[in-house]
Every structure is written in structure tokens, then in C-alpha cells.
Amino acid sequence: MGDPPRMSMEDRTTRVCVVGAGSSGLAAAKNLLQHGFEVDVLERGSDLGGLWNFHSPFGRVAKSTHMISSKKFTQFPDYPMPGSFPDYPQHSQVLAYLLDYARKQSSAARRGSRTPKGN
């Protein structure tokens, strides 16, 4: 029998995967992109927003949910929440903020819309 086939090695030292496209995953992707990494973001829901996505089966907010920390201490330092938002935004406002943040800050990240079922 001959030698087993050789596998080609691809340099992946500048490519990373971020699991989850909620507030933490979006911030991680943005910062990794700023530092020169290629970023893949995986989200098991059909859209971004993580727990704040009321319409996702994976969201964890109720119709009446609002933030319990003020926007001043929750917003991203380089991307303030709109002045029109109340001090404690509703879940729909937080989701809109995260979607806007993703469009403007992490647009170079590639996003996979779902992970395999059961995960």
C-alpha cells in the first residue's frame, strides 16, 4: 500500500469564527476586523440580535422587556444609542440599535445564518 494522500495546509492564522451575533458577538467581530482578521460570524437564529431578537425562537425577551441598565452604560463606546431612545430602551429599540451597529461596524464580516440543528 502506498502513502496516504497528503492534505494541503491552508494558513488560517488570520481567519477566526465568532459564535453568536448578539451584542457580544457583534462587538467581537468589529474589533477583530479592526485588527486585520477575516471574521465569520455564526448565528443559529435567522437574523442578528441574539437574545434581543423577539421574533427569533432563540430570543429571550418578552413584549414588555426593556433594558435594566441605562443606555449610557450599555451602548458601545464608539457607537452611542440614538438620543431619541429613552434611558432604558425597549427590546425593539435595542434590536434596532444592534442591527444598525452590525450594518455600520461589522459589515465586512461574513455571516452564516444557522448552525446545525440540535446545537
Q: Write out pLDDT tens, residues 98-114.
A: 999 988 875 555 665 54
Q: 42 in a domain, yes or no?
A: yes
How much of the chain is helix, strand and coil, in % rounded to 5? Answer: 30, 15, 55
Q: 57 in a domain, yes or no?
A: yes
Angle between helix 91-105 and helix 23-34 axes, rounded to 10 deg: 20
Where residue 55 falls among pLDDT bands split at 50, 70, 90? Answer: confident
Sheet order of strands, 38-42 included: 15-19, 38-42, 110-112
Q: Which residue range(s) make up the domain with 39?
A: 16-64+94-112
Query: Residue 117 to residues 31, 43, 113: CA-CA distances in angstroms?
Result: 29, 12, 12
* Average pLDDT of the residues in 30-56: 89
Q: 75 in a domain, yes or no?
A: no
Helices (H), 5-117: 23-34, 71-74, 91-105
- Please tell me what DSSP assigns to residue 14: T
Q: 106 in a domain, yes or no?
A: yes
CB-CB neighbours of 116 under 10 Å: 6
pLDDT at 58: 86
Q: 35 in a domain, yes or no?
A: yes
CATH number for 29: 3.50.50.60
Q: How many domains does the chain have?
A: 1
pLDDT of 28-37, one tens digit each?
A: 999 999 999 9
Q: 31 in a domain, yes or no?
A: yes
